[in-house]
Structure 1
Amino acid sequence: MKKGPRRLRRPALVVPAAALLCACAGCGDRGGLQSAGPTPTAVGPERLWPTLPPATRAADDYGAGETAVVKGVEVPGGKLREVDPVTIVRARVTAAPEDYEDIAEVVAGCPDSEDCPVLGGYYRDLTGDGADDLLVAVRAPHRQAYLQAYTYRGGKLTQIMDDKDAVINVHLAGRNIVVRAAADLSGYEYRTSWSYDDHQKAMLPTRDEILRTGSTRTPDAPSPSRS
């Protein structure tokens, strides 16, 4: 899987019209509605540069939505819990060493090496099919980490997520994977929510934002996957 720069998406802002103010009449009148004045005109999204031609292709390779079949790994009964996560990661790295050149050598020594960077796997139903999928993390140089997700479908072990970032921590929220990562702006961090897309058959970054953390410390390892 190719990993490209990350794009930050911001939702369009819509400002609703002000609500009308209703007031009762004072003593001695018949008690009716009073006007609060003219209603401000609603402000909606305004298209800028309407003559700008639409894009015909993406500006960069985001690397999301790609999948890969993991060959050479048996999954007894289709149950991922029966397979060592290290075996799966080694198979992926062996099949695509150019994608994992920074960890290929050290992963080759797993699981016997004391420096094996593959962390223990977590099992959750990420795809919604009722079966456990596998989420695994692999430490990389410069305090980076690969986050990978695997599922078993159609008799094949398939990688459905492959992301590399300066990970602070990872949370599971239902079937969503929420990744906090260091930003190259002091006092900020990236927060990305990955969700399984049934059409693409892969985990997609459905929400990506940059948040103020309050800290003024410069991150030790800014994310290489963002520009």
Structure 2
Amino acid sequence: MSASRRSRRTRAARRAAVAALLLTAAAGCGDAGGLQGAGATPTAVGPARLWPELTPASSPAFVIGEVDTQAVKGVRVPGDDIREVDPVAVVRAEIAAAPGDYALAKGPYRETARRMADCGKGAGQGRCPVLRPYYRDLTGDGRDDLTLGFRLLPGSTTAVRVYTVDKHRLVQVMAWEDALSGVELARRSLIIRSPSEVAGYEYRLTWTWDPQQRAMLLTHDEMLRTGNRHHPSRRPSPGASSPSPSAGTR
């Protein structure tokens, strides 16, 4: 992914606010489990529409690239089985397609390109920047898809990619780069957690497969409290740690 494409993906974190009404069950002497009120219920207040005189926009002001799929050139899928695809070859193909980012002389991720020479034993081995691949059916077609991560060096940024097989081709259906604190797979979704510059909070982004767009769409972008009072270092501009144990592995 080029630096300009990454810059289009920068976005402000959105705070999520949730209100809930709690009812508790009482189990005191002589009480057969009846419900007890939790107190007065606040009056519901609907959303207030601001600036109603503005004409609704019909097109986006910025091209963010929510639907950004592309076939991976030069990588074959034997028998349409994504598990037969070499993850290291997939990353090498991305490096070859973006020489400005990975050029050994002055590219921002030149160390990643240099360390690819350490991938002789495969992804997730030794000093290879390509992390262990994970396999799960994210598209709902009954076949495994590939979730792949690799370190963008020098620095603390990790690239996360999702690939599927479409018409005998390997197709990238999701891409993101960031400093990561966790990655999870849940049903048809990929969840990425990243540290925030605000103490005690983290960013949590969820991509979910959309059959109409045939891509993983960014469906949730939240800033959530973690309870950690430690103030992390400033969050770098976007682009793994282990996904959930239930994810299938090679």
1:166-214 CA deviation, whole Å, 9 max, x = no partner? 1101111122111110112122100111111111111111111101122
On the 8 A contact 1:182/1:222 being kept in 2, the answer is yes
- Which secondary structure state, in structure 1, belongs to the residue aligned with residue 182 of structure 2? strand
The yes-or-no answer on 1:149 pairing with 2:162 is yes
The yes-or-no answer on 1:137 pairing with 2:137 is no
Distance 1:7 1:200, change over 3 A: farther
The aligned counterpart of 1:218 is 231
Out of 140, 158, 175, which is 1:128 matched to?
Answer: 140
On the 8 A contact 2:14/2:222 being kept in 1, the answer is yes
The yes-or-no answer on 1:109 pairing with 2:114 is no
Structure 1 residue runs of 4 or more that deviate by more than 4 Å after TM superposition = 9-16
- Alignment size in residue pairs: 204
CA-CA distance at 1:82 after TM superposition: 0.7
Distance 1:10 1:80, change over 3 A: same
The code of the aligned residue for 1:193 comes to: T
More off after superposition, 169-178 vs 128-137? 169-178
Percent identity over the alignment is 45
On the 8 A contact 2:146/2:164 being kept in 1, the answer is yes
1:108-166 CA deviation, whole Å, 9 max, x = no partner? 53524953211011011111111111001111232111000111111211000110111
On the 8 A contact 2:180/2:192 being kept in 1, the answer is yes
State the Cα RMSD in Å.
Answer: 2.9
More off after superposition, 42-51 vs 116-125? 42-51
1:44-123 correspondence to structure 2 within 5 Å: 44-98=46-100, 101-103=107-109, 105-106=113-114, 108-109=116-117, 111-112=119-120, 115-123=127-135
- Which secondary structure state, in structure 1, belongs to the residue aligned with residue 99 of structure 2? coil
Out of 158, 177, 180, which is 1:167 matched to?
Answer: 180
- Scaled by the length of structure 2, the TM-score of the pair is 0.71
The aligned counterpart of 1:182 is 195
CA-CA distance at 1:67 after TM superposition: 0.6
The code of the aligned residue for 1:109 comes to: A
Distance 1:208 1:124, change over 3 A: same
More off after superposition, 76-85 vs 57-66? 57-66
On the 8 A contact 2:15/2:224 being kept in 1, the answer is no
On the 8 A contact 2:16/2:223 being kept in 1, the answer is no
- Which secondary structure state, in structure 2, belongs to the residue aligned with residue 86 of structure 1? helix
Distance 1:222 1:42, change over 3 A: closer
The aligned counterpart of 1:5 is 10
- Which secondary structure state, in structure 2, belongs to the residue aligned with residue 152 of structure 1? strand
**Ranges in structure 2 where 5+ consecutive residues have no aligned partner:** 22-41, 240-250
CA-CA distance at 1:6 after TM superposition: 2.4
Distance 1:190 1:41, change over 3 A: closer
Question: Could you tell me how far apart the structure 1 residues matched to 2:43 and 2:224 are?
Answer: 32
**Greater fraction helix:** 2
